[in-house]
Amino acid sequence: MQLTLHADYAFRILIYLGSQPDGHVVSTEEISQSYGISKNHLVRVVQTLNQHGYVEVFPGRSGGIALARPANRIRLGDVVRAAETNLKVVECFDETTNTCPIVPVCQLKPILGEALNAFLAVLDKYTLADLLGSRHRNGLVKLLALSGARK
Amino acid sequence: MQLTLHADYAFRILIYLGSQPDGHVVSTEEISQSYGISKNHLVRVVQTLNQHGYVEVFPGRSGGIALARPANRIRLGDVVRAAETNLKVVECFDETTNTCPIVPVCQLKPILGEALNAFLAVLDKYTLADLLGSRHRNGLVKLLALSGARK
C-alpha cells in the first residue's frame, strides 16, 4: 500500500515551493535537479497541481511555477485527494472493473473505506505550513540547494 | 494507494474459509475457481497465511486448507500487517532505497506514518467474524457456490 509517484511528487513540489521566499518563481528544471527525478513526470504533476489551484504556472523562458495560495491553506489530505491517481484500496472499489463475485454481500469494502477515511482525516489535520516550520524550512533550503548543486 | 493483490487475496481466502462450516477443509483449486483468480498466486498467499498462523494446510490429494483459529481471533489490521508486502507509503519509508534528499528534515514522513497507523487502527477494530454475520455468511456461501459452478 503505497502512494503513487504522482502524489509523492506532488508533495515534493509543494514542499520545494513552500521553502522558497514568498512568491518566488522556480523552474521545473531546478526542482527536477534538486530531487533527482524525471522532469517529464514532474511536468504532469505540475499540471495536476495547477488544475486544482495549488500552483501557478508562469510560461516563457524565464517562467516557472510558484504556490498559488498560502501554505496554511493547502491541506495535506486534499493534496492526496487531488494527486493520488489510485484511491481504490482493493479491486471492488471500482465497480466497473471489479471481478470479485462476493461484492454484493461482502463487508470488507465499507471497513476498508472507513480505514481510508481515517488515513485522509489524519492528513486533513495538517497543512503545507506544518511541513515548513522555520527550523525545517532552513534545513530544506540547504539540503535542496546542496542536492541541486551536485547534479 | 492500493493494497497489493497479496493482501487482497489473503482477505478473500479468509472470507472463503470463514464462510464454511467449522473446520471444513477446502482445496485451493476450489477457492481459485470460485473467485476466478490464479491458483499459483493463491498458493503463495496461503503460505503467508500459514506462516502467520491463520490457516492450517493439510497435504495430500484429499487435503486443502482450513482456518487455524476462530474467526473472532483474526483481526483485520493484523492480516494487512502479515500479508501486505508493501506498507511503505512513500519512498522514504525505506531508508535503504530512499533517494529523496530532504529526508533528514522532512516532516511529511511522520505525518504519513500517523495516517497509516490510523488506517490500521480502524482495521484492528474488526475481526474476520465481523465479515461473517449470519446474513452475510449465507449470501457469501451462495455467491461463491454460484461463481465456482460457472467455471
Question: Per-residue DSSP letters for A35-84?
Answer: HT--HHHHHHHHHHHHHTTSEEEE-STT-EEEESS-GGG-BHHHHHHHH-
Closest-CA distance, B116 to chain A, in angstroms, reads: 6
pLDDT digits (tens, 9 = 90+) for A16-35: 999 888 878 999 999 999 89
What is A103-126 written as a DSSP string? TTT-SHHHHHHHHHHHHHHHHHT-
Question: By the CB < 8 Å criterion, does B1 face chain A?
Answer: yes
- Which residues, 6+ apart, have CB-to-CB distance to B145 below 8 Å? B34
DSSP state of A1: -
The residues in B 65-94 lying below 8 A from A, measured between CB atoms, are 76, 80, 84, 86-91
How far apart are the C-alpha atoms of B139 and B137, rounded to whole Å? 5
Closest-CA distance, A10 to chain B, in angstroms, reads: 12
Determine, for residues B144 and A36 on separate chains, whether the beta-carbon distance falls below 8 Å.
Answer: no
How far apart are the C-alpha atoms of A58 and B20, rounded to whole Å? 62
ipTM at complex level: 0.90
H or E element at residue B66: strand B64-67
For residue B147, the chain A residues in CB contact (below 8 A) are 101-102
> Of residues B137 and B94, which shows the higher confidence score?
B94
pLDDT digits (tens, 9 = 90+) for B37-90: 999 999 999 999 999 999 999 998 888 999 999 999 999 999 999 999 888 998
pLDDT digits (tens, 9 = 90+) for B6-26: 999 999 999 999 988 887 899
B56: helix, strand or coil = strand
Question: By the CB < 8 Å criterion, does A41 face chain B?
Answer: no
* Residue of chain B with shortest Cα separation from A136: B105
Determine, for residues A131 and B108 on separate chains, whether the beta-carbon distance falls below 8 Å.
Answer: yes
The answer to whether the beta carbons of residues B94 and B88 sit under 8 Å apart is: yes
pTM: 0.90
Q: Which of A34-38, B56-60, B117-121, B134-138 has the lowest mean pLDDT?
A: B134-138
Mean pLDDT of chain A: 89
* Residue of chain A with shortest Cα separation from B92: A8
| Domains assigned to chain B | 5-85+128-150 (1.10.10.10)
How far apart are the C-alpha atoms of B18 and B103, rounded to whole Å? 43
* pLDDT, mean of residues A81-104: 87
Mean pLDDT of chain B: 89
pLDDT band at B32 (very low <50, low <70, confident <90, very high): very high
Q: Which of A89-93, A133-137, B17-21, B140-144 has the lowest mean pLDDT?
A: A133-137
pLDDT over 90 (residue A68): yes
* pLDDT, mean of residues A71-97: 92
How far apart are the C-alpha atoms of B33 and A43, rounded to whole Å? 44
For residue B101, the chain A residues in CB contact (below 8 A) are 34-36, 143-144, 146-147
Q: Which three cell numbers stand for residue A34?
A: 534538486
Residue A110 burial (CB < 10 Å; 0-12/13-18/19+)?
exposed
pLDDT over 60 (residue B151): no
* pLDDT, mean of residues A105-120: 93
Q: Which three cell numbers stand for residue B91?
A: 519512498
Determine, for residues A122 and B99 on separate chains, whether the beta-carbon distance falls below 8 Å.
Answer: no
